[in-house]
Structure 1
Amino acid sequence: MTEERTRTPPKAAGRGPEPLGPDSLTWRIFGDWRGLLIALWAGSMQNMHPELGAGVEEHSRFFDERWERLFRSLYPIGGVIYDGPRAHATAREVRGYHDTIHGTDRFGRRYHALNPDTFYWAHATFFVSTLIIAENFMGGLTEAQRRQLFDEHKRWYRMYGMSMRPVPDTWEDFQEYWDRMCRDVLEDNKATRDVLDLSRIGRPPLLRWLPGPLWTPVRPLVHRSFVWLTVGMYDAAVRERLGYSWSPRDERLHRLVGTAIRFAFRLVPWQRRYHPRARAGWRRALGMDPAATPTVETPPRNLPPESERSLPIHYVPAEHRPTG
């Protein structure tokens, strides 16, 4: 990866699963704000899994609060990487949000979010996210770096305390696993199409200042642009499954856009490139903040509706949980 490096402290010893630290490539990539550019890719790839898609269709209100759900989810998901000695506890919390997500889909197939194969698929998309962010928006990766990220993703996954049975042993095994999933397992379903449908999406947080009447004509352009960007990051088998075409011209333009984003981010101070949870992890690791500094939690604007804050499927910081 050709991005400039931040300084890193030595590893700290600990008990239990060993969390990733600032010496890892995953730390450098995953919490970068450029990850938002692949949000549609990650959401759609996860939902194409039959069990995961069924769980979203029957248990999630994601599409009623898309921006809020996206931005608050980044805190605990990122915390599994950036929380240091607290990362294992964060991972167990994330796992706990999935305990009650189970049922039978419209085809009569039973599903459970904690089925090891299903839970690992979600994690596999997070791992591949690091590859895609780096390859598309950070100048690329060497083969050695891809292998390093693969090894790190196994350490990352151990934090959840889930069975390691579905996890491929080697980078070559993972490539075969990913190809098989894309070609033979993933499906075109309602949950996937709903993720890709931005035709009615509200203004993103950075554009709250934009009057609604002005957002209405802008929204179709945002929809088309982000879907196009997402399609360019799909494997060919996924594009074919979803019925998208992709030309050599699209590929050239996609690479040009990625290069422009890469160079634009060179103007952003390194701390500002990271999500608040990731930034806090860097600051603690580099001695800029005390190690005991409280974990950064999502602000109230990202919380679920008050009537749902007691549900076990939601991440809600303790100070905002119902007390009754």
Structure 2
Amino acid sequence: MVDGRLAVVAPAPGAQGAVPADPGLFGPTSVTWRVHADPLMAVGGLRALLLQSLHPEAAEGFAAHSRYRDEPWSRLVRTADFVALTTFGSTEQVLRAAAHVRRAHDRAASRDGGRRLDDPRLLLWVHCCLVDSMLHVVRRGGLRLDAAEADRYVAEQVRVAALLGVDPAHVPDDVAGLRGYLLDSRASLRLCPAAREAVAVVLAPPLPALLEYATPARAGWSSLVGTAFASLPGWARALFPAPWRAAAAVAPPAAVTSSLRALRLAGHGVQALVPALRGSPHEREARRRLGLAG
């Protein structure tokens, strides 16, 4: 460990002096590769954003130092790109990406009351919301992970939190610990004004006129956000405005599960028809780097 962050060690030379292909932070045998290659990653990311918004300090820091109002799509894309890069990137790419995020947090530090965006408490909250959301959505949508594999995923993700500056000793490393952390956080959660504004942008981000009026993009996005919201735990949904809760209440848990399974099947279908959409660019590059099929 270096300065509270987990050190990532590059592959050592092989017996003949050749350096093996670099698997990065996780590698193809990890559970993280399986989870983060799933078509439901977008829904998991939206669920994470909704859950993260319930922490007032995190929401206010985000609102004060983010350009999400002007660039909502680029903000979402950057977040997805960071997850994909830390999952599939080389060791050098992962370290560079983590360093970039730490520098950005340092530049945009919120000093209101002495709090900073890189406060380990806030980083831990954001991390746990993301890990819980990804795992919940893909398992509920049909990715087969047994209890041991789910625990492995949570443990693997500690490496990312450590790279961003969270002491690994404070990061949940199994499903039970993750659930316990979220439940213990409930007393400090609420939907503050900054969070309401951010959620409104997530609900209805601006679209180019052609997409808005000539395609079903708006309806498709609303469906994704609605499914993500409905997949939140009941205690989290209860903190959102009544219209949101009412809409989610119409869909019983079985219907939410069916929606997630249908979205996952559709995603796999699109990937089968369009090879260019089979995984993120980072995943495809990782497979080339490691000499893997597909």
TM-score above 0.5, yes or no: yes
2:11 aligned partner, one-letter code = A
2:65 aligned partner, one-letter code = H
Match of 1:22 among 28, 33, 36: 28
TM-aligned CA deviation for residue 13 of structure 1: 3.3
Question: Is residue 95 of structure 2 the alignment partner of residue 88 of structure 1?
Answer: yes
Name the CA shift for 1:139/1:174 in 2 (closer, same or farther; >3 Å). Answer: closer
Write out per-residue CA displacement over residues 103-130 of structure 1, whole angstroms, 9 at most, x where no aligned residue: 356xxx5421111111121121221232
Name the CA shift for 1:34/1:14 in 2 (closer, same or farther; >3 Å). Answer: farther
Q: Identity of counterpart residues, as a percentage?
A: 23
Q: Within 5 Å, give how 1:122-141 maps onto structure 2.
A: 122-141=126-145
What is the alpha-carbon distance in structure 2 between the residues aligned to residue 129 and residue 76 of structure 1? 16
What is the alpha-carbon distance in structure 2 between the residues aligned to residue 100 and residue 110 of structure 1? 15
Aligned to 2:167: 163
Aligned to 1:231: 229
- How many residues end up aligned between the 2 structures? 267
Question: Is residue 278 of structure 2 the alignment partner of residue 273 of structure 1?
Answer: yes
1:238 aligned partner, one-letter code = A
TM-aligned CA deviation for residue 252 of structure 1: 2.5
1:20 aligned partner, one-letter code = F
Preserved CA contact (<8 Å) 1:50 1:186: yes
What is the alpha-carbon distance in structure 2 between the residues aligned to residue 22 and residue 140 of structure 1? 16
Question: Is residue 72 of structure 2 the alignment partner of residue 66 of structure 1?
Answer: yes
TM-aligned CA deviation for residue 275 of structure 1: 1.8
Aligned to 2:40: 34
Preserved CA contact (<8 Å) 2:39 2:267: no
What is the alpha-carbon distance in structure 1 between the residues aligned to residue 214 and residue 173 of structure 2? 51
Q: TM-score if structure 2 supplies the norm length? A: 0.77
SS state of the match for residue 210, structure 1?
helix
SS state of the match for residue 52, structure 1?
helix
What is the alpha-carbon distance in structure 2 between the residues aligned to residue 265 and residue 167 of structure 1? 32
What RMSD in Å do the two structures reach over aligned CA positions? 3.1
What is the alpha-carbon distance in structure 2 between the residues aligned to residue 100 and residue 211 of structure 1? 35
What is the alpha-carbon distance in structure 2 between the residues aligned to residue 54 and residue 178 of structure 1? 19
Match of 1:118 among 122, 130, 133: 122
Unaligned runs of 5+ in 2: 1-9, 14-23
1:234 aligned partner, one-letter code = L
What is the alpha-carbon distance in structure 1 between the residues aligned to residue 293 and residue 46 of structure 2? 34
Preserved CA contact (<8 Å) 2:154 2:173: no
Name the structure where helix makes up a greater proportion of residues. Answer: 2
